[in-house]
Structure 1
Amino acid sequence: LDQVFGLNLRVIDPQADTYNLVSKRGSQITDRIVESLDMPKASLLALVLGHILLNGNRAREASIWDLLLKVDMWDKPQRINNLFGNTRNLLTTDFVRMRFLEYWPVYGTNPLEFEFLWGSRAHSEITKMEALKFVSDAHDEEPQSWPEEYNKALEADKTKERSLTAGLEFWSEDTMNDKANDLVQLAISVSEELLPIHQDELLAHTGKEFEDVFPNILNRATLILDMFYGLSLIEVDTSEHIYLLVQQPESEEEQVMLESLGRPT
């Protein structure tokens, strides 16, 4: 708590197992969200958002639990539950309902895995540089210690400023859903030929300004294709990010083959 969150844990009543958290330093990101959450939960959310940022704007659920283990939180369930309540429900339900996080299945994984993305409210209220600054403080480093993520955060925040100036909220739920439907229509238009679709083509269709929320849009489009069109969007080349549309399998053998190809990760 001291190293990662900048918080001092003080025992108020040892017999009642109650604690008080005192902040050692201010944080831009926690100051922005502490009005909606208390300081411990705001700090936990900031840590998770920073972790997602450092993992290409999407993070598998297992990596989140590994993160909490590394900061010596997850192996002390009684203390952590006193601070955060049910941590799993907080991350997968409460923060999702508040739109700070999105929680999606990763299709094609067996057993089924899930991943976290920034939610629309996080995109709206928090800058990428604030998240990077928080996680770099947790590592006792400077944001420039991650040069690729640092440059991407700078560009993302500039894009956000330009969008706000133009009156466009690219992170809004309605906008992302509209863009997801646009991707669905693009995918359907090439489905008969089953032509490979490169991620750059998908991004060009949505607009370069939506690059920061593209994983959110792609997951929405994938869900629509699965549920309403009987199509599966398969990432056939994970290094080049090339996707293919195929009909959902009807037999167990076809399902096994489909899962071996994988889906967007």
Structure 2
Amino acid sequence: MQIKRGLYDHFSNQDSNLLWIYNYFKTVYNGGFYKLDNLIDKYNYVEDKYEKWLLIKAIINQDIRQNEKKKVEIFLELLKENNKGKYDYVNSYSYYLLHFYSVDKSILFLEDNLCISEFLESSVLDFSQSLVFKNYASLLPNNNMKKEIMKKCLEQTPQDTDLWKEWLKLYANQDEVKKISTDIFKCGYSDPTLIKQVKIDSGDTDVLVRMIILCSTNLNKDIALYLASFLNNKLLKNYMLLFIEMFDFSDILKGEINEICL
């Protein structure tokens, strides 16, 4: 899950500013709180344009979440000046409008700054463009335009399990839900909310093991034990039962456990 978000644990230079920045993103992704002053101090310290650009976006996001409207506006201007591409500013400004004004204002701004037909017809993959269109679709009522944009975003980022879950909820019948949920797990992506929809064949041991590991938390321990009962390999089953007993997978995700010894 951290790799999906670009949260890597090792850098060639362990004292680099990039390491500091990505550790910040990792902290926030795992639910941690970060002081704005520390982010701003880091922004004032770094000189590299790319690092400043990353920090500007991080500061805007935190400013919005902490209701610091004036600070948001200052750093939105800085993002506009240091923009690496059109869509970063559009995405950040639309979030600002959504949080401090209204859904309608955010939608109108996005419609004025996005070309929907060009996006739907394009064969070029631009992750920042796909992200802003995904966010735009999330604001729309359930209509054909929303469906077409979500479909295009899924074609571009099929690893986005959150978007798949929204698609399944809105547009898929029960057979499609089971098929897509199973495909997601077989492709290596995991989400505990999809587990009950996954169809496992007798040879899908790797899928079953990943499901067990994913559910090895204090909240889902009973599910993990139930799934482990379907393992045919006695040695593997014993290892998985030991894993369930000894570890909480959420701690591993947070980086609180770096080494597993059974």
TM-score band, normalised by shorter chain: under 0.3
Higher relative contact order (CA closer than 8 Å, sequence separation 6+): 1
- Return the structure number with greater helix share: 2
Q: Report which of the two structures shows the higher radius of gyration computed on alpha carbons.
A: 2
Q: TM-score, normalised by structure 1?
A: 0.26
